[in-house]
Structure 1
């Protein structure tokens, strides 16, 4: 009816789905507030139009019925688009947590609202507790590795890690190692190691 805010939110979802390298754009607090204000105004207009109408709904004039329906449907559309925007953002945060583990990039954290940051913290705690309880790492790759062992190079000085096959391995910056894929998968996800070749 009036708002371009819902179009802006839906365009944000479309951009994020079209560009997986930026899974979460900055939270659009200003647009959300504008949509909420519009819904309040429409609700007040509905109440004002109904003021003094003691007749039953089917006895209202066709013009008044149409006006009420249009305003009510606009409120519902605004609500649906806003909830789709918020749902998309929460799903993106959950997927990101599963993909990168505990180290959600700072750039992504900066794009979250205060409530989304709290949700991510709570989700992380629930997911970690669950994985410990069932002794299963849900953040591990869902596809089996092509090779049991992979060659990796340390991008930073990671210190020593303990592996099942090779024992203690010192991952000094710039060094290359041939290790089990399962032992270094999390470090590769975090960008501390990179696959060679």
Structure 2
């Protein structure tokens, strides 16, 4: 009996440290918000159509199927008509809550250095008038194994998503105006 107990303890002593040090990437999260002077219904009318992302300066065109229905799809052409694409699917849509959620189904990590990406775009009333636009996402870095190259590590993924969100929200702040403080 003592021999088994010793063996069990020895195996556990070897396995537990290996488990502590041998984990892959962790899920990253980014949330960016913008206050605009325009009321939520007008902002939602501009950004609430999953099929139309023409408000984002990086999106050259957007094509898709099934409107704002669950499982609707869209393909974003980035930069130009022959630029890279990002394919996405809608998994939650709430017109009354002015919110939708989607996932990327296909993108090259050279275009966006992430995997398993999901995102939520919401418009909320702002105290004192205007709107709060919130864009948040969760994802893993583009390189799923340990020791990623610099362009596919956590920092690169966070920076890329942050830049995309910020560019879109900056464009909306120009379009809808910034509220008086």
Q: Same fold (TM over 0.5)?
A: no
* Normalised TM-score (structure 1): 0.25
**Greater C-alpha radius of gyration:** 1
Q: Higher strand share goes to which structure?
A: 2
| Greater RCO, 1 or 2 (C-alpha within 8 Å, sep 6+) | 2
